[in-house]
C-alpha cells in the first residue's frame, strides 16, 4: 500500500501556514515577484532625468521643487513566476523505503502548493531515465493544482535517472522562476550540469535531497550482500558484498557527510540553494525550517 502524505489535513496545514505568514513572507514564496525591470506597479524603484517624450504624469514635482529639474519616478515591474519541480523517479527514491517516495512527493506537492498560493505557475516534471515527463502540464490556481496532485501520487519510481539529461532536456523559461530538484542524489550522473543549466537559464535553483533514516544512519551490520534498487540483477556491479563493521559504518557516515557537503558547496558556488531532509521528520517543519534557512522563504 502506497504511503501518501497528501491528504486534506496536510494541505490544510499548509494553507494555514501560508496565510499566517503571508504578510511576513519574503523570499520567493513570500510575496510578489518583483523584477528589476521597470514596470507599472506601485512599487517605487528609482529616479531618472526627464527626457523629451516621457510621460509628464510621472514627473516627481517634489524633486522639481527641490532641484528645479525634472525627474521621473520609476516603478518595478511584476511578473508571474513559474515553479518547476523536478522529481527524481528513480528506484532509489522508493525501493529502499516507501516513505521516502511519498515524502518526496509531499515535498513536491508542498512546494507546488506554495507556488499556486502565491499566484505563480507550477509544473511537475517526473524524471525517469534521461528525460522528464510533465503529464500534468503547467498548473495555475488551486483547483487545477489539487487535480494534479491526485495524479502525482501515482508516480512510479523505477530504474535509474540521469538528472542532467532529464533536466537539460526539459524546456525551461529564462529568468522566470524557481527550479526545484527533488532527489536523493545517489547517482553517478552529472547533476551538476543540470544545476549549471538552470542557473544559465537565470532560474533560482533549489536542491532538495530526500533521504530515509536508513540511508542517513544504516543500522545493519555484518556480512551483507546489498542489492541496489536500481540494479538490473544480482550480478549487477552496483550490488556489493560488504562486511559492515563499526569502522565501515563510520566510513559510511563520513562519506554521507562529504556527499551532502559536496552538494552544498556546489550549490553555494552556483548561487543555488540546497536542503537535505530525512523522511522521518514532519514536512512542514522541514519545509519551513529549511526553506527559511536557505532564504527561499524569508
Partner 1 sequence: MIGLANLLGLLGLLGILGLIIIYIIKPNYQQKFVSSTYVWKLSLKYRKRKINVNKLMNLLLIICQVLILISCALILAQPIIRAQQPPDIDEKIIIIEASGNMLATDGLGGEADVEGGTRFLRATQAAVQTVNETFDNDENGLITIIMAGRTPEVLQFESGVNAAGQPQYTKIQRLGIADKDNIIATLTGLKNSYCTLGSADMEQAMRYADPVLEENPEAKVILYSATEYINEISENSFVDVRADELRLDTEWNAAILDGKSTINSHFVYSFDLEIGLYNYDSDIEVMVQIYGANAADDSEASADDKNGYDLTYTLKTPSLSAYNQPNGQTVTITLDTFSEALKSDGILCVSDKPFYKDDGGEFDGVLTYKSVRVSLSHVGNRNPSTDSLYQDNEFYFYDGQRTQLKVVYESDRSNPFMRSILYAWQSALTNKWDVIIKEVTKNDDVVTEGYDLYIFEGQKLPRGDLPSDGAIILVSPEISALTSVGINTLTSVEIPASDTVWCSVAEHPLSEHLIHAENYVAHDFMQASNYDKEYEVFLNYHHSNGGTEETIPMIFAKNKAEPLGKVMYTGLHMNYTDFAMYTDMSLMFLDVFNWFFPVAVEEHIYEIGEQIVINSFAREIKLKGDDIDTKITEFPHIEVAERTGRYTLTETLLSNKEVETSYYVKMSARESNIWREENELTEPNFKSKYGDEDKDLLVYFAAALVALLFAEWFLHSRNQF
Residues that bind partner 1 (CB under 8 A): 91-97, 100, 184, 186-188, 212, 214-215, 218, 220, 222-230, 238-243, 245-248, 250-252, 254-256, 258-259
Cβ at position 152, least distance to partner 1 in Å? 20
CB of 213 to partner 1, least distance (A): 12
Q: Is the dihedral of CA 103, 107, 110, 112 positive or negative?
A: negative
Compare residues 54 and 217 and give the one whose CB is closer to partner 1: 217
Q: Residue holding cell 534498487?
A: 229
CB of 229 to partner 1, least distance (A): 5
Nearer to partner 1, 21 or 248 (CB): 248
Closer by beta carbon to partner 1, 15 or else 217: 217
Q: Which is nearer to partner 1, 136 or 279 (CB)?
A: 279
Identify whether the C-beta of residue 167 lies closer than 8 Å to the C-beta of residue 181: yes
Q: How far is the CB of 291 from partner 1 (least distance, A)?
A: 25
- The nearest distance, CB 183 to partner 1, in angstroms, is 11
Q: Which is nearer to partner 1, 57 or 223 (CB)?
A: 223
If the CB atoms of residues 250 and 282 are measured against partner 1, the closer one turns out to be: 250
Residue 249: CB minimum distance to partner 1, A: 9
* CA nearest neighbour of 45 among 11, 9, 78: 78
DSSP state of 171: -
Distance spanning both ends of the chain, measured CA to CA: 37
Comparing CB distances to partner 1, the nearer of 122 and 279 is 279
For β-strands 177-183 and 204-211, DSSP reports them as: parallel
C-alpha 139 chain-centroid distance = 16
Distances (CA, A) of 7 to 3, 200, 251: 11, 36, 39
Minimum distance of partner 1 from residue 175's CB (angstroms): 33
113 contacts 14 by C-beta, under 8 angstroms = yes
Q: Which of 179, 210, 223, 213 is nearest to 82 (CA)?
A: 179
C-alpha–C-alpha distance, residues 214 and 105, integer Å: 19
> In 10 A of CB 52, how many CB atoms?
4
Q: For residue 91, is it left (φ>0), alpha (ψ between -120 and 50) or beta? A: alpha
Shortest spacing between CB 245 and partner 1, in angstroms: 7
Our CB check for partner 1 shows the closer of 87 and 148 to be: 87
Q: Do the Cβ atoms of 267 and 257 come closer than 8 Å?
A: no
Amino acid at each position: 500500500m502506497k504511503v501518501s502524505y497528501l491528504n486534506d489535513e496536510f494541505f490544510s496545514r499548509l494553507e494555514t501556514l501560508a496565510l499566517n505568514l503571508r504578510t511576513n513572507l519574503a523570499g520567493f514564496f513570500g510575496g510578489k515577484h518583483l523584477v528589476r525591470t521597470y514596470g507599472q506597479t506601485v512599487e517605487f524603484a528609482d529616479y531618472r532625468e526627464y527626457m523629451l517624450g516621457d510621460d509628464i504624469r510621472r514627473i516627481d514635482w517634489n524633486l522639481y521643487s527641490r532641484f528645479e529639474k525634472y525627474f521621473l519616478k520609476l516603478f518595478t515591474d511584476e511578473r508571474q513566476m513559474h515553479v518547476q519541480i523536478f522529481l527524481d523517479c528513480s528506484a532509489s527514491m522508493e525501493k529502499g523505503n516507501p516513505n521516502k517516495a511519498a515524502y518526496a512527493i509531499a515535498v513536491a506537492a508542498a512546494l507546488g502548493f506554495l507556488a499556486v498560493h502565491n499566484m505563480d505557475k507550477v509544473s511537475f516534471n517526473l524524471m525517469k531515465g534521461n528525460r522528464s515527463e510533465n503529464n500534468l502540464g503547467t498548473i495555475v490556481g488551486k483547483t487545477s493544482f489539487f487535480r494534479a496532485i491526485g495524479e502525482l501520487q501515482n508516480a512510479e519510481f523505477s530504474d535509474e535517472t540521469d538528472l542532467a539529461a532529464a533536466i537539460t532536456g526539459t524546456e525551461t523559461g529564462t529568468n522566470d522562476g524557481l527550479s526545484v530538484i527533488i532527489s536523493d542524489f545517489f547517482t553517478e550522473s552529472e547533476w551538476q550540469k543540470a544545476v549549471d543549466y538552470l542557473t544559465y537559464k537565470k532560474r533560482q535553483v533549489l536542491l532538495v535531497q530526500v533521504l530515509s533514516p536508513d540511508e542517513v544512519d544504516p543500522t545493519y551490520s555484518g556480512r551483507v550482500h546489498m542489492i541496489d534498487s536500481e540494479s538490473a540483477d544480482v550480478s549487477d556491479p552496483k550490488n556489493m558484498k560488504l562486511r559492515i563493521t563499526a569502522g565501515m559504518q563510520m566510513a559510511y557516515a563520513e562519506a554521507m557527510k562529504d556527499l551532502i557537503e559536496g552538494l552544498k558547496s556546489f550549490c553555494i558556488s552556483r548561487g543555488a540553494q540546497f536542503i537535505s531532509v530525512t523522511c522521518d521528520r514532519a514536512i512542514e517543519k522541514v519545509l519551513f525550517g529549511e526553506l527559511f534557512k536557505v532564504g527561499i522563504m524569508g
